[in-house]
Structure 1
Amino acid sequence: MTKLREPGSHHEALQQSLAMLGDAGAEAATGKSSGHLRACSNPDETREVLYVDAVQLSAAIAKAGGTPPLLTHLRLACERVQPMSAPAPADPRALLLDCVEAVGDLSGAFRQAMADGSVCARERQQMRALVADLRKRSDELWAALEDPQEERIAMLAAEQRAAIDVVHNMSVAGIRRETQLKRERARRISLQARLAEKGKGR
């Protein structure tokens, strides 16, 4: 019988990752035995999954087109520590009235400045300040009319892509390092073999 893991725990995320990859896939991704990895997913065991193994497992799942459970667990854990809370949305009707008021202030200043047929430097500066205020209020109204749910989904999707890119880059670096170590081991074995051959010939 499969031992139950606490929902939302890293043990559950690791168990799901191993199920997605299978024993062979998990072993190929990490170089560790599937038995060792399953033990790391057991909350009763003292062993814990290493960060580098979690990265390799997540990279393999992402490469196969899946959503890495360990990445999802990490993001949700970070949100629990520091929730992604958004301020209460502003009322577009109140912001529209602010814009109308700003237009009225600008229109009144413009009429007053043009009363004598010319605009002095002080009046130009005043109107520029009123235009800047109108622009600010218009931007606030524009932002209030956007769909916050779509914006949040887009933000989370961007974070997911960035996280997958990081995992992929770390995975590539790990694979390169592993390849380099294998080459170095092969060179040492070859050198030892040549030295042994020379020893036999003496």
Structure 2
Amino acid sequence: MYAIAVEKEQGLRGILNATRRAAVEFHDPLAMTDYAISALETDEPHKYEVYESYMTAAALGQHPLACFYLANLYYRISQGEFTTEAERDAKKRKEAYAARPAWLRRFEPIEKWVNSLFNQPLDRKSYRVRAMDWYELAFDMGNNEAGYSLALLLREDGEMEKSREVYNLTAQRGLPTSLPKKGLKQMEDKWEDQTFNPGLPSKLLRLA
């Protein structure tokens, strides 16, 4: 359905409209992935929230690349590159409080207490765990870049046996061709050296 819709359209605007329609109306995983990526190219202030929303829907539709991109987003959030949902919500509440009349502001401490009690947002460490879950799912669906990333994160966590198992399986299927062979060889040679932790390669952390 998505491919047919795009084929019928003319020009960039027409293709974007077809992509949006396939994503919003038909919930096509490939279209939702493309639409999420197109959001990053806009000046929309909430573009990363739009990206996360559509990429999550595509990932839940079992699109391997969407799972990988979503994992990358969550990993980068865990590293402090992007704001967490909790930080975004806190900013919105602060702006809302500032716009209130003075007599309403005396109730802010109660509101903040209620929010802290019933809204338990993810911390950055939890985003890393979530990233690993999506890497694992993407790897199960055949994405080897996700397998390599997962192996590295398991290794960082000290789960050497499991990390080696995932690494070996990834190597059998084919290590990421986007990474230089020299870097892959260095990582393989130093795999058991837990003092060597270079982190995930930046080339694997793309969102599109």
* TM-score w.r.t. length of structure 2: 0.26
* TM-score w.r.t. length of structure 1: 0.27
Larger Rg: 1
Q: Which has the higher helix share?
A: 1
